[in-house]
Amino acid sequence: MDDKFDDEYQASADWLMSKTSCRPTVGIVCGSGLGGLAKILEERQIFKYADIPNFPQSTVQGHAGQLVFGTLKGKACVCMQGRFHLYEGYPVQKVAFPMRVFKLMGVETVIMTNAAGSLNQDYKVGDVMIIKDHINMPGFAAVNPLVGPNNDRFGVRFPCMSDAYDRELRKLAHEVVAELDFGDFVHEGVYCLIGGPSFETIAECRMIRQLGADALGMSTVHEVIAVRHAGMRCLAMSLISNRAVMDYESEAKANHEEVLETGCQRTAQLEQLVSTLVGRLELCHNKSL
């Protein structure tokens, strides 16, 4: 049984494919302050979210709100400059909406970035965390893009999430990190999704750290679930934009301006990392999905 957005996914994909000859196999999702990643694409074609039928609108500072089509290392790509969040008031299915449009356009691999707060005391602001797993806090209350009638055209009713973050892609990412000599600021860890938009309390940070998370943020997980449900591969990375406050004596306060500033400082190296990864995707052979 199809979900209520089924016709909208197809209409959005059809509209985009009628406007561009680019047939992307790679999707890139830019997090807060990381929209500059789209600039590494060549032969760019840009479509404002406002012009795409049924597409949500990005309302967050640091999110340009547009799709950018182009080529990178000879591969056709589509890049989201700006994503959608629960705290903007969108239903969870709309948060993940673009991922299903990606699938209908032929995307096979999705590379995601986000800005995240560090819970792991070994991480520094400006570090990058390759996500190996996630904790979906809203998901414990059935806030999940797959809630409702299953859309069989994309995937099965009960998809496995133990392999949400593709092992072969993560292995490839570590190889690229070593080659670029980025090892001193790249880690691998667990990401926790919180709903936002308020930053987390000290007690919440301590609890989430005890659950095994290394960083936390307000995005990515719902997109990953939709990506895996649809049989696409996924690699995700967090830019550590702030350290979560976990000490009651601390005077530090989390803020969005710090997130944006950190993104600007690390953009060039993230561009190099993503660009090299895309160029090597054909070397990464994943098990059958």
Active-site residue numbers? 32, 63, 85, 87-88, 115, 218-219, 242, 256
Pairwise CA distance, residues 138 & 142, whole Å: 7
Pairwise CA distance, residues 50 & 53, whole Å: 8
Tokens encoding 132? 């190996």
**Ranges assigned E (strand) in the chain:** 26-30, 42-48, 66-72, 75-81, 109-118, 128-136, 186-193, 215-217, 233-243
Query: Residue 128: helix, strand or coil by DSSP?
Result: strand
- Terminal-residue alpha carbon distance, the chain: 22
116: β partners:
240
Q: Which of 55, 52, 58 is nearest to 88 (CA)?
A: 58
